[in-house]
A and B are shown apart, each in its own frame.
Chain A
Amino acid sequence: MPKNFLVGIGGSGAKIAESAIFLCAAGFSPDTGGDQDKLFLFLVDPDRGNGNLVRTTKLISSYLECKKDFQAHGNVRLFHTDLKVPDDEKDRVWTIFDKTDMTLSEWIGFEGLNKKEEKDEQDMMSVLFSKEELNTPLNMGFRGHPSIGSVVMTELPENNYPFKLLWDELPEGKPFDVRLFLVGSVFGGTGAAGFPTLGHRNTLKFNRNKEAAVDEKANISRILLGGSLILPYFKVVKNDDRADMHVTSSDFPIATKAALEFYDTKDSLGFDQVYFVGDSLSQSVGEFSVGSTSQSNKPHYIEIVSSLAAFDFFSQEPVTVEKKEKETMYFIARRDSNRLDWNSLPFSRSEEKITKVRSDFKLRLATMTVFCYALVTYGRSILNAEEDARNKDEFRHSWWKDNFKFKEDDFLNPRTARNKEYLQKVMRFAESYLAWIIDISDYDNVQLMDKTKLAEGGKWRSPVNLTLIGELLKETSKKRGWADNGGFLQCLDDEEINNKIAKDTRTFTAANRLLNLFYEGAEKFARGNYTIN
């Protein structure tokens, strides 16, 4: 079975990894034909305080915590993907520099090049880089100057994590058995520098130290290298109080043009398959920031598209030496207007798979949204009800009575301290998912979810109203409410689901039984209420 690696480079790369994790949590994952889908993941960013990066690294930890203790029943796809990352949180990001406030000048030892025979090199550096570029601290990234990044990223810590994660999976590999997908923006700093540097033939694909090549002359490696180049898709609001060296939205097209011309002329790139992802709507994702914690941009649907591109790459038929490069395939989508809906996203390079993947994608996102919405509201009220609440109405529902008891037993009562602790973790994850999906929908042209039905004021603080659970998607739905016929409560109480869960999950903790029940109820509700196919 091929091994799938996703590498997010820079701020946009981190955001794409974030969307990929949420999709995996929702059960939409690269279909590799195995029982358990695996996704190896790591990030590259010198700006360790970057808001986007911090958000994603926290999300990775949160996903792993939830996944670790989760027991899935039957076809429940919640946290389906086995996310493989280095054990130590620090190792999940290649931050390039060991010390803070490193400058390019320090990195190349510019001041030390003062001997007579080194003077030429120093002069050369002075020609290639301005004083500002040489002396600006790089702890906030490359500030839209990929030329700096391409210098410092050539020295790869091959034997250390996160790259060790890749090499550890390589020895047993057959040709193209490791599928490595790089994602980063072409118009910024870190992504634009990292994409061609890590995508260079000699860096990873045909790395000699790790014997990645099978037959370099025939262009056959153990690694199938793919990448998604993110073209400009957003703009940032100008902030007058800004640092000296930076880029603005108006620089994006020029940077993109230069980068694409560069890639076009470079034969040294090792990519087998490349995706170009962009958006002409150019929506604002927040205020401008050079880097660090303030660079925390709103999620954007293009990040979902990039994740879909990665999953398409991972889900392709096994590539063999004979089959390679025989057929050109396109992963594309079109829309008739500025309006982006469920049918406007690209889903697969294979025409036969598009409808199936699209239905699955919509079902998974609808189910996850309903699941999270119900869990953090109704689920939380059940969890936090007073201890003497056994006679309250909530506990008279069949789904509770059939599956749970008021005993101090982790297998019977989801309200024990241990179960509560775990459920709180899942609820925190669910809230971050809801905040993410609301932000994705926070653009006028994006017609995926209805943020006004999901949260008051369109920002995740509290849900609007449980009766709106049938109107969370922006499309025609049956608008079944919370307690209507076919409503969520009825789906949760469904006899077939409850009987199966009660029978099959005797070895599950009560917290897991509750999560499975909510997920299956959410899926039944989503199938009945929303137009999935």
Chain B
Amino acid sequence: MNKSPLNYLLCMALGVVLWVVTAIFYGGAFSEALILANTTPEAFLGHLRIVLGVAAFAGVFNCIYWFYYGSLEEVAGKLGEAKRFWRVSFILQIILSVALLFILVLMNLSEGVHTSFWLIIFGLLSLHTWFFFWLCTYFMSPRPVKNIPLFR
């Protein structure tokens, strides 16, 4: 699972499947359950899909770059740097998930969405960003850096 190109392909496939599941299937049902003040559930769903798409792209892109970075020949001798790289990537993913949530909140500030729904959305964004990054790198990192991700 950590061999190239299998890890690249699996990561992309997982990102797409996760987006389909969260943005299409779950997102549809989720937006129907919302009570919105001004806009339609379809318009909110459109925003949600775009934001989840950005999160999924960022998560997949970061993983792919980590896989590429981890297989660079000089990395085996510089695991300290690799560890820093992974941590920075992981924190950036968390920041991104929060930033995307804020964007969605700002776009729908007047809709009166209940806080619990925003928490669910944050969960979905987290699933695509930092959790996705941790999960993929935990199981699919190239051998030289496979022990770098958290809890390895």
B77 CB–A CB distance under 8 Å: yes
Whether A495 touches B74, Cβ cut-off 8 Å, given contacts A393-B80, A396-B83, A397-B79, is no
Q: 8 Å CB contacts to B: which residues of A467-482?
A: 482
Q: With a CB–CB cut-off of 8 A, which chain B residues contact A393?
A: 79-80, 83
Q: How far is the CB of B107 from chain A (nearest CB, A)?
A: 42
Task: Report yes or no: A396 in contact with B76, Cβ–Cβ below 8 A.
Answer: no
Task: Report yes or no: A482 in contact with B147, Cβ–Cβ below 8 A.
Answer: no
A493–B77 Cα distance when bound, in Å, is 11
Query: Which of A396, A401, A482 contacts B77, CB < 8 Å?
Result: A482
With CB as the reference atom, state the residue of chain A lying closest to B146.
Answer: A398
Q: How far is the CB of B35 from chain A (nearest CB, A)?
A: 49
With CB as the reference atom, state the residue of chain B lying closest to A467.
Answer: B77
Task: Report yes or no: A484 in contact with B73, Cβ–Cβ below 8 A.
Answer: yes
Task: Report yes or no: A484 in contact with B83, Cβ–Cβ below 8 A.
Answer: no
Task: Report yes or no: B143 in contact with A483, Cβ–Cβ below 8 A.
Answer: no
Q: With a CB–CB cut-off of 8 A, which chain B residues contact A483?
A: 73-78
Q: 8 Å CB contacts to A: which residues of B106-149?
A: 143-144, 146-148
With CB as the reference atom, state the residue of chain B lying closest to A484.
Answer: B73
Q: With a CB–CB cut-off of 8 A, which chain B residues contact A337?
A: none
Q: With a CB–CB cut-off of 8 A, which chain B residues contact A495?
A: 143
Q: With a CB–CB cut-off of 8 A, which chain A residues contact B76?
A: 397, 483, 487, 489-490, 493
Task: Report yes or no: A396 in contact with B148, Cβ–Cβ below 8 A.
Answer: yes
With CB as the reference atom, state the residue of chain A lying closest to B77.
Answer: A483
A265 CB–B CB distance under 8 Å: no
A485–B80 Cα distance when bound, in Å, is 18
With CB as the reference atom, state the residue of chain B lying closest to A394.
Answer: B79
Q: With a CB–CB cut-off of 8 A, which chain A residues contact B73?
A: 483-485, 487, 490
Task: Report yes or no: B77 in contact with A489, Cβ–Cβ below 8 A.
Answer: yes
Chain A 490-532 against B: per-residue CB contact (8 Å), 1 yes, 0 no? 1001010000000000000000000000000000000000000
Q: How far is the CB of B145 from chain A (nearest CB, A)?
A: 8
A485–B79 Cα distance when bound, in Å, is 15
Q: With a CB–CB cut-off of 8 A, which chain B residues contact A401?
A: 146-147, 152
Query: Which of B74, B83, B147 contacts A398, CB < 8 Å?
Result: B147
Q: With a CB–CB cut-off of 8 A, which chain B residues contact A396?
A: 79, 83, 147-148, 152
Whether A397 touches B78, Cβ cut-off 8 Å, given contacts A485-B73, A487-B73, is no
Q: How far is the CB of B148 from chain A (nearest CB, A)?
A: 6
A393–B75 Cα distance when bound, in Å, is 12
How many residues of B are counted as interface, with CB atoms below 8 angstroms from the partner's CB atoms?
Answer: 15
Task: Report yes or no: B74 in contact with A397, Cβ–Cβ below 8 A.
Answer: no
Q: 8 Å CB contacts to A: which residues of B56-99?
A: 73-80, 83
Task: Report yes or no: A484 in contact with B74, Cβ–Cβ below 8 A.
Answer: yes
Task: Report yes or no: B79 in contact with A493, Cβ–Cβ below 8 A.
Answer: no
Task: Report yes or no: A490 in contact with B144, Cβ–Cβ below 8 A.
Answer: yes
A393–B76 Cα distance when bound, in Å, is 10
Q: With a CB–CB cut-off of 8 A, which chain A residues contact B74?
A: 483-484
Task: Report yes or no: A398 in contact with B144, Cβ–Cβ below 8 A.
Answer: yes
Q: With a CB–CB cut-off of 8 A, which chain A residues contact B75?
A: 483
With CB as the reference atom, state the residue of chain A lying closest to B3.
Answer: A495
A490–B148 Cα distance when bound, in Å, is 16
Q: 8 Å CB contacts to B: which residues of A345-404?
A: 393, 396-398, 401
A483–B77 Cα distance when bound, in Å, is 5
Whether A493 touches B143, Cβ cut-off 8 Å, given contacts A393-B80, A483-B78, is yes
A484–B72 Cα distance when bound, in Å, is 9
A489–B79 Cα distance when bound, in Å, is 12
Q: How far is the CB of B70 from chain A (nearest CB, A)?
A: 11
Q: How far is the CB of B77 from chain A (nearest CB, A)?
A: 3
Q: With a CB–CB cut-off of 8 A, which chain B residues contact A493?
A: 76, 143-144
Q: With a CB–CB cut-off of 8 A, which chain B residues contact A490?
A: 73, 76, 144
A495–B141 Cα distance when bound, in Å, is 13
Q: With a CB–CB cut-off of 8 A, which chain A residues contact B77?
A: 482-483, 487, 489
Q: With a CB–CB cut-off of 8 A, which chain A residues contact B144?
A: 397-398, 489-490, 493
Q: With a CB–CB cut-off of 8 A, which chain B residues contact A484?
A: 73-74
A489–B83 Cα distance when bound, in Å, is 17
Q: How far is the CB of A415 from chain B (nearest CB, A)?
A: 18
Q: How far is the CB of A74 from chain B (nearest CB, A)?
A: 21
Which of B73, B77, B147: most chain A Cβ within 10 A?
A: B77
Q: How far is the CB of B90 from chain A (nearest CB, A)?
A: 16
A397–B79 Cα distance when bound, in Å, is 8
Q: How far is the CB of A172 from chain B (nearest CB, A)?
A: 52
Q: How far is the CB of B144 from chain A (nearest CB, A)?
A: 6
Q: With a CB–CB cut-off of 8 A, which chain B residues contact A397?
A: 76, 79, 144, 147
Q: With a CB–CB cut-off of 8 A, which chain A residues contact B148?
A: 396
Q: How far is the CB of B149 from chain A (nearest CB, A)?
A: 10
Q: With a CB–CB cut-off of 8 A, which chain A residues contact B79?
A: 393, 396-397
Q: 8 Å CB contacts to B: which residues of A386-430?
A: 393, 396-398, 401
Q: How far is the CB of A455 from chain B (nearest CB, A)?
A: 21
Q: How far is the CB of A469 from chain B (nearest CB, A)?
A: 11
Q: With a CB–CB cut-off of 8 A, which chain A residues contact B152?
A: 396, 401
Q: With a CB–CB cut-off of 8 A, which chain A residues contact B147?
A: 396-398, 401
With CB as the reference atom, state the residue of chain B lying closest to A489.
Answer: B76
A489–B76 Cα distance when bound, in Å, is 7
A487–B76 Cα distance when bound, in Å, is 9
Chain B 2-32 against A: per-residue CB contact (8 Å), 1 yes, 0 no? 0000000000000000000000000000000
With CB as the reference atom, state the residue of chain B lying closest to A485.
Answer: B73
A489–B73 Cα distance when bound, in Å, is 10
Which of B76, B78, B80, B143: most chain A Cβ within 10 A?
A: B76
With CB as the reference atom, state the residue of chain B lying closest to A498.
Answer: B143
Q: A396-B152, A482-B77 are in contact. List 17 more A-B contacts (CB 8 A).
A: A393-B79, A396-B83, A397-B79, A397-B144, A398-B143, A398-B147, A401-B147, A483-B74, A483-B75, A483-B78, A484-B74, A485-B73, A487-B77, A489-B76, A489-B144, A490-B73, A495-B143
Q: A residues near B, CB below 8 A?
A: 393, 396-398, 401, 482-485, 487, 489-490, 493, 495
Closest 10 interchain pairs by CB?
A483-B77, A485-B73, A393-B79, A483-B76, A396-B147, A489-B76, A401-B147, A393-B80, A396-B79, A484-B73
Interface CB pairs A-B, < 8 A, 12: A393-B83, A396-B148, A396-B152, A397-B147, A398-B146, A398-B147, A483-B75, A489-B76, A489-B77, A490-B76, A493-B143, A493-B144
